Amino acid sequence: MRLSFDNSFARELPADPSVVNQRRQVFGACYSRVVPTPVSAPYLVGVSSPVARALGLSEADVHSKQFLELFSGNLVPDDAAPLAACYGGHQFGNWAGQLGDGRAISLGEVIDVGGRRQELQLKGAGPTPYSRMGDGRAVLRSSIREFLCSEAMHHLGVPTTRALCVLGTGDLVKRDLLYDGNERLEPGAVVCRVAPSFIRFGSFEIFASRDDLGTLRALAEHTLRRHFPHLLDAGKVTPSTYTRWFAEVCASTASMVAHWMRVGFVHGVLNTDNMSVLGLTIDYGPYGWIDDYDPTWTPNTTDAATRRYRFGAQPRIAAWNLARFAESLLPLSRDLSGMEAALEGYAGAFDQSNRDMQRQKLGFLPDSQPLDGALCADTPESLHESLLQLMGRVETDMTLFYRGLAQVPDAATDAGGSAEQSDELLLEPLLGAYYSEPSAGLRDALVSWLHRYQRCLVDHGVNVGRRERMDAVNPKYVLRNYLAQLAIDEAEDGDYTLVQQLLEVLSRPYEEQPGRERFEQKRPEWARSRPGCSMLSCSS
């Protein structure tokens, strides 16, 4: 097994002069050199074959002892450059100062089979100078959740980091799951995360906060040359380059968040240190999927009081985080009005992306207009807004509802029959999405909405191909919170079958998969309030 390392981050940016691995404040450096702490008996829990192939790893490589040694941190190749990055961040709206990679150690950057640069990061590989009070380790449950979610999001079409594998370490780690004083020993694990870069908003905030403009500029120029070369001015970085870059980060962030809203994903801990400058979803901690549609829901127990990072607030919080990123770049761009205009552009970009995705979820084309002689007073946007209000009146499984909506008959082709029969035909594909029986009033309101919906589809001329279009954007399978927990339960007993089954199902989230109906079922009642299924902590 051979990976070709080319470590531009370590080569081009200032390093911590100290190589002593102890908790401390690190100044004037983008990273600290640190090697993973060996584990006792690594074993394979799950691997993403597509990611392995992209890195040039064969099936034999994946099942070799060298694979276990390398991706557990026991073996560091001679040409690797293991490091922990220095960054800061705003956590829950407050400046937290230096944070950094406290339990993630990058082995270095490799060139994949497509010629693209990919950073390999081991999460749970041991303490670093940024570990603060932590031990630098991760547990099996959080590692499985990150591994599965990274790959699920990719196949859903959501911009994200990837995950190569999750390995058990053979060691136990002590954790307090709910921060209630009940610590317990859990199996340890390491997950290998893969991305072009893990540079985040907080990577720039830390140097701006310290008025360290030299390191700030070095990091910014490295990021631009490595990841945004098309923005350079005749190969050079100028003050206007930073403004154009910020505008591009605003646009990619807007698209990412719109995708979250499309599939019902809640990040759970949208601190500025968890926001990628590449517009990728990073740091899968206490995330969750919307079961019943509820804009106020957050999966994070730490966020239970204020719900700052609730589902419906994610677009606004992303804008707040972007403003903090803009503040850190302002000393370089010196263009306040340009940065403000770019931030305003985020709102427009999100609204446009979200509008297009909402239209597609209902089967409309992004640019479809009413035909001549149209009778419907509704627009796709007004229809969607009123639908969300109906979904909020009773517990409605968001994933199942939109998937069922594609099966609602078309007014002009297959609705037929009497008014009463037509109403039943309209409702039948949707009833399985409810967690309790809809009231008579809600049924009437939903039927009324469905008739308006049918009329609007006809008036826009989009009936043909509607179901196929809807099924292409409304997933049938998502990583439901309770399914992840069931996989964790079995894995902690030494059975990794469900981990692999979920990985396979979630690789085709929009397709019908006969025989795998269990993976599309809505949350069972036992999972309503169980930790891991309803809410999670930042504990790992």
> Which tokens sit at 490?
């079995």
Q: Catalytic site residue 176?
A: no
Q: Count of CB atoms within 10 A of residue 6's CB?
A: 12
Catalytically annotated residue among 79, 135, 180, 273: 273
In whole angstroms, what separates CA 27 from the centre of its chain? 30
- C-alpha to C-alpha distance for 178 and 304, rounded to whole angstroms: 12
In whole angstroms, what separates CA 188 from the centre of its chain? 23
Q: What is the DSSP letter of 160?
A: B
Q: Report whether 499 contacts 491 (CB < 8 A).
A: yes
Alpha helices in 13-76 (DSSP H): 49-54, 59-62, 65-72
What is the separation, in whole angstroms, between the first and last Cα of the chain?
Answer: 31
In whole angstroms, what separates CA 278 from the centre of its chain? 13
Instruction: Please state the φ and ψ torsions of residue 190, each to the nearest 5 degrees.
Output: -130, 130
> Which tokens sit at 173?
């780690």
Task: Please report, for the chain, how many H helices and E strands are present, in that order.
Answer: 17, 12
Nearest Cα to 502, choosing from 525, 484, 481?
484
Q: Report whether 518 contacts 396 (CB < 8 A).
A: no
Instruction: Please state the φ and ψ torsions of residue 9, each to the nearest 5 degrees.
Output: -60, -50
> Max alpha carbon distance in the chain (Å)?
80
Q: Report whether 28 contacts 218 (CB < 8 A).
A: no
Q: Count of CB atoms within 10 A of residue 8's CB?
A: 16
347-369 residues labelled b (16+ CB within 10 A) or e (exposed): eebbeebbebbbbbbbbbbeebe
CB-count burial class (<10 Å; 0-12, 13-18, 19+) for 409: middle
State the amino acid at position 31 in one-letter form.
Y
- C-alpha to C-alpha distance for 150 and 473, rounded to whole angstroms: 18
Q: Count of CB atoms within 10 A of residue 67's CB?
A: 23
- C-alpha to C-alpha distance for 162 and 183, rounded to whole angstroms: 31
Residues with a known catalytic role:
273
